[in-house]
Amino acid sequence: MKEPSFSIGVEEEYLLVDRSTRMLASSPPPELFKACETALEGRVSPEFLKCQIEVGTPVCSSLQEVRTELGYFRKTIAREAAVFDLAPIASSTHPFADWTDQPHTDKERYNEIARTMQLVVKRMVICGMHVHVGIEDEELRIELFNQLAYFLPHLLALSTSSPFWRGRNTGLKSYRLSVFNEMPRTGLPPGFDSYFDYRHTVDILVRAGVIEDATKIWWDLRPSDRFPTLEMRITDVCPLLDDAVAIAATFRCLCRMLYRLRRANQGWRQYSRFLLAENRWQAQRHGTNAQLIDFGRNETAAFPDMIEELIELILPDAVHFDCVSDVNHLREIAARGTSAERQLELAGDIPEDGHLPQDILDRIVDQLISETQRGL
């Protein structure tokens, strides 16, 4: 079997906010999107809600390319948005936005989603980061897909940026997942015996007229329907670019690590989705403070300890991809926490009912604006 290319591409979604009021820009001027499309040569697009904007890198061969592309996207969108007194935030929720005030983009695809999903999709004032890794062989793609599910909670815990919703502390580090879980065909993916088994399952829904194609399947990890890639979708979007690149690097290295095992006629042990779902919940609830279950030992472990083991596991792959510094950055994330922790720290003592004063919420938005553009 020919070794996969392990090419990489990253998509990020941002929310647009008014710099003066810190509120979501519910209906940004069309001129902003036109300016961004011109500056970014079509690598940017509106999302389902008008307050969102999505970017996607080209196919990259190195993490340095990914870093350069994402940095350029953020810098360019911030520059063009500033003309209209707006700013992007790479955060998976807005701290106090009201989802009932957000109109969706008038495109046929989005109009159809709105008709089909009704109230559920109107709550999707959330953003994520998706990472594609090239696995050209279809059977290998499914083999790695089945095994990678084990690591999805770890990636989620490293990314959390959505502790607040409508001005309240949710008690979760990634409330985005709770919102997204209301959609059908989401959550941890099922396992498949083969690529044929996967296609047969998808085709049942397509032939029944329930979905048009596999792009309407929104699992935490999925074989892309458009590219020969595995697409990791569980993570929140990270305000800090270094964190985003580190997570992308880790997913790429995990793919190659599992391929190395396969080449040695080995594989990562697969556990029931019921058990993996518990780790997913712990990561969603606690972020880097989670005590995830080590299923090999049948006991919980502190997240920084699990990250040390993860780094050791993928270090040969980080060396191969020349991204050791990016993978080592996981230690910093595990030690100082994610955006969710920094937002909660800024919030200070939170009232029992979870409601935050408006001046604190405004400061959190300012922090998110600053971090999204840090170092660009």
Strand partners, 232: 131, 221
| Phi and psi based region of residue 209 (left: phi greater than 0; alpha: psi -120 to 50; beta: remaining) | left
Note whether residue 161 is domain-resident. Answer: yes
Predicted local distance difference test score (pLDDT) of residue 10 = 98
Predicted local distance difference test score (pLDDT) of residue 258 = 98
Predicted local distance difference test score (pLDDT) of residue 106 = 78
> Tokens 């999903």 correspond to what residue?
117
Note whether residue 1 is domain-resident. Answer: no
Note whether residue 158 is domain-resident. Answer: yes
Domain residue limits at 73: 8-372
CATH number, domain of 137, equals 3.30.590.20
Per-residue pLDDT of the chain (376 residues; tens, 9 = 90+): 789 999 999 999 999 999 999 999 998 999 999 999 999 988 998 778 889 999 999 999 999 999 999 999 999 999 999 999 999 999 999 999 999 888 888 788 788 888 888 988 888 899 999 999 999 999 999 999 999 999 999 999 999 999 999 999 999 999 999 999 999 999 999 999 999 999 999 999 999 999 999 999 999 999 999 999 999 999 999 999 999 999 999 999 999 999 999 999 999 999 999 999 999 999 999 999 999 999 989 999 999 999 999 999 999 999 999 999 999 999 999 999 999 999 999 999 988 888 999 999 999 999 999 999 998 8
Note whether residue 268 is domain-resident. Answer: yes
Note whether residue 2 is domain-resident. Answer: no
Note whether residue 3 is domain-resident. Answer: no
Residue 80 tokens read as 């063009």
In single-letter form, the type of residue at position 293 comes to I
Predicted local distance difference test score (pLDDT) of residue 208 = 97
Rounded to a whole number of angstroms, the CA Rg of the chain reads: 20
Secondary structure in 3-state letters for the chain: CCCCCCCEEEEEEEEEEECCCCCECCCCCHHHHHHHHHHCCCCEEECCECCEEEEECCCECCHHHHHHHHHHHHHHHHHHHHCCCEEEECCCCCCCCCHHHCCECCCHHHHHHHHHHCHHHHCCCCCEEEEEEECCCHHHHHHHHHHHHHHHHHHHHHHCCECEECCEECCCCEHHHHHHCCCCCEECCCCCCCHHHHHHHHHHHHHCCCCCCHHHCEECEEECCCCCEEEECCCECCCCHHHHHHHHHHHHHHHHHHHHHHHCCCCCCCCCHHHHHHHHHHHHHHHHHCEEEECCCCEEEEHHHHHHHHHHHHHHHHHHCCCHHHHHHHHHHHHHCCHHHHHHHHHCCCCCCCECCHHHHHHHHHHHHHHHCCCC
**Residues 159, 338 contacting (CB under 8 angstroms):** yes
Predicted local distance difference test score (pLDDT) of residue 101 = 82
Note whether residue 259 is domain-resident. Answer: yes
Counting the structural domains of the chain, the total is: 1
